[in-house]
A = this chain, B = another copy of it.
Amino acid sequence: MTRIENAKKGIITEEVKTAALIEGVSAEKLSIDIAEGKSVIARNNIHNIKPLAIGKDLKIKVNANIGTSKDKSTIDEEIEKLKVLVKYGADAVMDLSTGGPIIEIRKRLIEESPIPLGTVPIYEAAVEGAARYGSIIKMTPDDMFNAVRAHAEGGVDFVTIHCGLTMRAVDRLKSQGRILDIVSRGGALMLEWMIYNNKENPFYEYYDRLLELAHQYDLTLSLGDAMRPGCLADATDRAQIEELSTLGELQARALDAGVQVIIEGPGHVPLNQVEMNMKLQKTLCNGAPFYILGPLVTDCGMGYDHISGAIGGAIAGAAGADFLCYVTPAEHIRLPDLDNVVDGLIASKIAGHAGDIARGLPSAIERDKKMARFRKNLDWEGQMSMSFNPDKVRAWRAAAPPSESDVCSMCSDLCAIKTVERALKKK
């Protein structure tokens, strides 16, 4: 029985109890939300990790993408990225490798990862298809499903499948007239296959086959947004919403089949459309968890897209997004290096935390109160312990040390906190 099937029967498993305890919610509540498709636990049955619940009324989670491309593929660096990401509190990672020994990389990452690991199996199908047939357009539907099966059998916890990119959505895309058409890599591969073969998307046409496969491993499906806007001008258009409606239909079918689903979302979205996008997803997709990439509130943030993404992610989180995919400062420029992934992760963690506070999550609010009290007491070790990167704070403080040990070099002897405490004690 899958999690949804257990939950529908009112069976509360040890896994649900553990996940609920981590979240600080009741196991009964979490179980009901799983039964209704509003929360998921993203774990493959054969992957031995702590359960991670994502969804309704839960702490906003952060995913970090890693992986190689043809131009940069060293397995050791990806393992190192995984380690620092876990150290700084990533909730999940996705291996998006498309270069080098990608099967070996995936296996190593699954072995090493103490947190849920996601993939996009179509990448592997495409890379292997290109090698086998000389072109990705010659892949067969079986090749695609076999890639998903290989990932499920290998212990991957959640997979992105671009099953909402239908022929109808492609028509809508063409009639829309976008600047950037499709910027999703998996979506682009599917589109090319569909157009050259003049066939419907196999993951849509044979969706039941996908559900059967997912059911077997209690694999969580992350329904991909091939139509996510790649620039602000393309945001919230008919192509995007067409796909989102289809994803809502597919989510309902998955729920009936006992398969957990999360929905992927934009993308590049103007700030004033972010909240609306979150609410639209929740209504069109039956309250399913929303997994968003950014959203980036400007197209011009190259080198600082983690900041554009944190702005969008925080607003989205406050408005109901459940799962933030980080964006690194290297986005749109190159594959990220170690520093880039840390910066991207912490930017998204700040966004998620700000969203949690806005949503009233007690543990998030309490953390900031603790920080404020440490600050009031000029307790620097305490402040570091509440920060997202104590190593950095310690190093920076040491690099410009204050002359009095209880203040910092910004205000030095004119520390407002000390001045006010002295003044208010008087009288």
**Consensus secondary structure, chain A interface:** helix
Query: Min CB distance, A330 to chain B, in Å?
Result: 6
CB neighbours of A1 from chain B (8 A): none
Instruction: Report if A207 contacts B (CB, 8 A).
Output: no
Instruction: Report if A200 contacts B (CB, 8 A).
Output: no
Binds B, one of A5-13, A39-47, A177-185, A252-260: A177-185
A–B complex contacts, Cβ < 8 Å, 17 sampled? A70-B412, A71-B402, A99-B412, A180-B375, A180-B376, A181-B424, A230-B372, A231-B368, A271-B314, A297-B358, A298-B357, A299-B368, A300-B368, A300-B371, A301-B388, A307-B346, A334-B400
Q: Quick one: which of B99, B196, B304, B315 contacts A315, CB cutoff 8 A?
A: B315
CB neighbours of A233 from chain B (8 A): 365, 368-369, 372
Scan A59-78; emit 1 where CB is below 8 A from any B CB, else 0. 00000000001111000000
Q: Quick one: which of B179, B375, B388 contacts A304, CB cutoff 8 A?
A: B388
Q: Is the CB of A409 within 8 A of B334?
A: yes
Query: Min CB distance, A249 to chain B, in Å?
Result: 24
Instruction: Report if A131 contacts B (CB, 8 A).
Output: no
Contact status of A232 and B179, CB under 8 A, knowing A187-B416, A334-B397, A400-B337: no
Q: How many A residues have CB within 8 A of the partner chain?
A: 105
Binds B, one of A103-111, A282-290, A379-387: A379-387
Q: Quick one: which of B182, B271, B369 contacts A318, CB cutoff 8 A?
A: B271
Given contacts A69-B410, A126-B414, A334-B397, 4 further A-B contacts (CB under 8 A): A188-B416, A302-B387, A311-B351, A333-B397
Instruction: Report if A175 contacts B (CB, 8 A).
Output: no
Query: Min CB distance, A82 to chain B, in Å?
Result: 18
Query: Min CB distance, A300 to chain B, in Å?
Result: 5
Q: Is the CB of A303 within 8 A of B387?
A: yes
What CA separation (Å) do A314 and B314 show in the bound complex?
11
Nearest B residue (CB) for A403: B71
User: CB within 8 Å of B: which residues of A?
Assistant: 69-72, 98-99, 123, 126, 174, 179-185, 187-189, 191-192, 195-196, 230-234, 270-272, 297-304, 306-308, 310-311, 314-315, 318, 330-335, 337, 346-347, 350-351, 353-355, 357-358, 365, 367-369, 371-373, 375-376, 383-384, 386-389, 392-393, 396-397, 399-403, 408-417, 419-424, 426-427
Q: Is the CB of A387 within 8 A of B300?
A: yes
Contact status of A195 and B424, CB under 8 A, knowing A354-B308, A416-B185: yes
Q: Is the CB of A232 within 8 A of B357?
A: yes
Nearest B residue (CB) for A302: B387
Q: Is the CB of A396 within 8 A of B179?
A: no
